[in-house]
Amino acid sequence: MSSLFGTLWTAKSSLFANQLALQTSSNNVANAGTKGYSRQRVDMVESPPETLPYGQVGTGVTVDSIRRIRDQFLDQQFLRAQQSLTKTQAEHDTWSQIEAILGEPSTDTGLQADMDRFFTSLQDLASYPTDLTTRRTVLEQAQTMAMTFNRLDTDLDSLTRNLETEISGRVAEANDILKELASLNSQIQAVTITGNSPNALLDRRDLLLDNLSGLIGVSRFFRDDGTAVVTMSGGGGVVLDGVTAATLGTQITPATDSYDLTLNGNVVTPTEGKVAGLLASRNDPTGYVKYTRAQLDTLAGTLIAQINRIQAAGAGTAGVQSSTSQTVVADPTAPLAGAGLPVPLTVPGSFGVFVYDATGAVTASGTVNVTAATSLNDLATQLNGLGGLTATVSAGRLTLSAPAGSTFRFANDTSQALTALGLNGVFTGTDAGTIGVNAELMSRPELLATGYPDPVTGAVGGADNRAALDMVAVGQAKLLSGGTATLADFYGATVGVVGARTAATANLAESQDLVVKSIDTQRQQVSDVSIDEEMTDMIRFQRAFEASSKIIQVVDELLNTVVNGLIR
C-alpha cells in the first residue's frame, strides 16, 4: 500500500543515484586529459515496483553499476597496428642514422670525395712522377681516405653498441611492465570475483598492454576471472599468464655475432614491436649496420689489395731499406696457400728481387718461387739464398733488410705473395676498420711506386709512370659486384641502398602511423571524455536532483498537514 513515506523513499533513491552520477561526471571531467582513461557511466535501473490492488507503482531508481566505456575489439586492433609501427620506426631510425654517418651526397667531405681526391692525386703523380710534393700529396690523400674509412667503421660500431644499450634498456622496461601487469591481474581478479568492475585498474592495465605491445609486440585475451594472458606476436611464447610474469633478458651469441632476446632464458625472436626492429637493426647480416660495414670492408679490402699489389712489385725513386710484412702468419712452417691470407695466393708463381748498392747499380738479384707447399720459412730461406739480403721470421712476420747503404726492390709478383703478406704496401690493414697508410712511406714518400723495375736488368727510370698509371686505373676498373662496378660505383650503390631503405621505412612508418592514428581516433570516439557531454549530463543530473529535493519538500509539507492539521 502506497504511503507518503514511500514517496519520500523514492525521492531519496533519486537523490542518491543522481548525486552518484554527478560524482562520476566530475571524475570524468577531472580525468579528461589522463592518458588511458576511459569515460565512465552510471547505469541506473528502475527499482522493483510495488504491486497494489489497482496496479504497480514505481519505487524509485537504483544504481546497477558504474561502467567504463571501452571497445576491446578496437584495443586489439590498436595493439596489432601499433606494434608494426614501432618496429618500422626502430628500423627507420637505424637506417637514417647510418645515412647520417655516411654523410652523402657531398662534394668535399665523405668517403666518395676522399676516394676521388686519392685517385686524382695519383693522376697528378703520373704526370709528375719525379716531383716529391706530388708524392706527399698522394700519401696525404691516402691517409685522409684511410681515416674516413676508420671513422665510418668506428661510428657504425658505436651505432651497434648504442643499439645493444637501447635493446637492453627496452627489455628492462618491458620486464617492469610485466611485473606491474602481474600485480594488476591479481588485484583485478580480487575485485572481479566480487562482481564489481575495477575500472581504474582495467584502464591502467590496458595502457600498460599498449606500452608493452609497442615494445615487444604482444596479443592478449582475458579470462572470465578478469585476468589477462599475454603472448608475444608470431608465436614467441607466453609472457604473462595471470599472476605469473615471464622474465625477459638479453644475451650475446658470439658464433653468429648476434644480440638476442631471451624469454625465461631461452632465445626468442620477436616479430613485432620496437625491440624486434632494434634486434633486426643490430643482427640482420643483409641489412642495416652489418650490411653497411660489410660493404665498406669489401671496398677497403679491394682498394688495399689492388693498390698494394702495384706498390709491392713497383719501384719508387728510392729502393727499400727494410720491410716487415703486415700479415701475421700463425704457423711459419705451414704452407702459405692454406693459411687464410687476406688475398689468395696464385700458385705456382714467383717474384723477382733486386738488390742495389748506393749508386743504384744492381749487386744481386734472383727469383723467389712460390708453390702450394711454400711456407713463410721457405720464403725466408729463398730470400736469404739470394745473397745480399737478410730475411728473418719473427712472430709470424717476415722482415727483409738490405745491408747498410744498399736497398732492394721486388719485381713482377705473379704469386700475389707480397700483397698477401703485406710486404712493401701503400696501405696496412685489411678492412675499413684497420686500413692505414704504411708509416715507412709516410716518412719516405720517395718509396711510393710510380714505375716498375726492368724485369731483366732491375733498372729503374725516375720518369717511369707505369705503376702510377696502373694505380689510377684501379679507380676506373670494374673490380666489384662480379666485375660490373668500379670502387666508386660500388660505394655509390651502397649509399643508394641506404637511402632507399631509409626512404622506404619512412614511407612505411608514415602509412602505419595513419592506421594507428585512425584506430586511436576510433578508440577516442568511444572512450574519451567530452566536456560538452559531461556538462549536459551535469545539468541533467542537477535538475533531477533539484526536482527530487522539491518532492521531498512537498512530502514534508504533506506530512506536516497530516500531523499538525489533524491534531487540532
Partner 1 sequence: MRITNNMIADQVLSAITDSRKRLGTIQEQLATSKRINRPSDDPLGTTLTLQFTTATKTLNAFQRAIDAGQAFLRATADPLDHIAEIMVQAKEIGVQGSSDTAQGTRGAMAAQVNQLLEDLLSQSNGRFADRYLFGGTQTAAPPFSATRDAAGQITAVTANPLGTDGTVQAAVADGVRVQTNIPGSTVFSKTVDLFASLVNLRDSLAAEDTAAVVTDMTTVDQAVTQVTDASGTIGAAIQRLDAIQSLNQKDLTRFELLRSGVQDADIAELYVELQTREQALQASLAAGARAMQPTLLDFLS
List residues binding partner 1 (CB under 8 A).
Answer: 32-33, 95-96, 99-100, 102, 104-105, 107, 112-113, 115-117, 119-120, 123-124, 126-128, 130, 451, 459, 461-466, 469, 472-473, 475-476, 488-489, 491-493, 495-500, 502-503, 506, 517, 521, 524-526, 528-533, 535-536, 539
Neighbours of 214 (CB within 10 A): 23
Contact at 8 Å (CB) between 351 and 418? yes
**Shortest spacing between CB 476 and partner 1, in angstroms:** 6
Q: Which is nearer to partner 1, 33 or 254 (CB)?
A: 33
As a whole number of angstroms, the distance between CA 242 and CA 535 comes to: 39
Q: Which is nearer to partner 1, 77 or 292 (CB)?
A: 292
Paired sense of beta strands 390-394 and 436-437, if any: unpaired
Q: Which of 174, 178, 155, 179 is nearest to 276 (CA)?
A: 174
Q: Which is nearer to partner 1, 266 or 524 (CB)?
A: 524
Q: Which is nearer to partner 1, 13 or 40 (CB)?
A: 40
**Shortest spacing between CB 295 and partner 1, in angstroms:** 13
Q: Which is nearer to partner 1, 184 or 411 (CB)?
A: 411
As a whole number of angstroms, the distance between CA 212 and CA 36 comes to: 14
Report how far apart, in Å, the C-alpha atoms of 507 and of each of 74, 82, 155, 394, 514 are: 24, 15, 26, 57, 11
Paired sense of beta strands 55-57 and 50-52, if any: antiparallel
Q: Which is nearer to partner 1, 15 or 111 (CB)?
A: 111
Name the DSSP class of 561: I
**Shortest spacing between CB 532 and partner 1, in angstroms:** 4
Q: Which of 210, 160, 156, 159 is nearest to 181 (CA)?
A: 210
Burial 290-326 (b: 16+ CB within 10 A, else e): bbbbebbbbbbbbbbbbbbbbbbbbbbbbbbbebbbb
**Residues found in the chain:** 568
Residue 481: left (phi > 0), alpha (psi -120 to 50), or beta?
left
Neighbours of 65 (CB within 10 A): 14
Handedness of CA 332, 335, 340, 344 (dihedral sign): positive
Q: Which is nearer to partner 1, 33 or 55 (CB)?
A: 33
**Shortest spacing between CB 496 and partner 1, in angstroms:** 4
**Shortest spacing between CB 281 and partner 1, in angstroms:** 16
Q: Which is nearer to partner 1, 334 or 497 (CB)?
A: 497
Paired sense of beta strands 248-253 and 258-263, if any: antiparallel
Q: Which is nearer to partner 1, 224 or 532 (CB)?
A: 532
Q: Which is nearer to partner 1, 415 or 502 (CB)?
A: 502
**Shortest spacing between CB 20 and partner 1, in angstroms:** 22
* 208-507-520 Cα angle (round to 5): 35
As a whole number of angstroms, the distance between CA 90 and CA 84 comes to: 10
For the chain, report the end-to-end CA distance as a whole number of angstroms. Answer: 27
**Shortest spacing between CB 464 and partner 1, in angstroms:** 4
**Shortest spacing between CB 105 and partner 1, in angstroms:** 5
**Matching residue, cell 641489412:** 287
**Shortest spacing between CB 467 and partner 1, in angstroms:** 12
Q: Helices 288-312 and 72-102 meet at what angle, rounded to 10?
A: 20
**Shortest spacing between CB 115 and partner 1, in angstroms:** 8
Q: Which is nearer to partner 1, 301 or 458 (CB)?
A: 458
As a whole number of angstroms, the distance between CA 474 and CA 123 comes to: 11
**Shortest spacing between CB 525 and partner 1, in angstroms:** 5
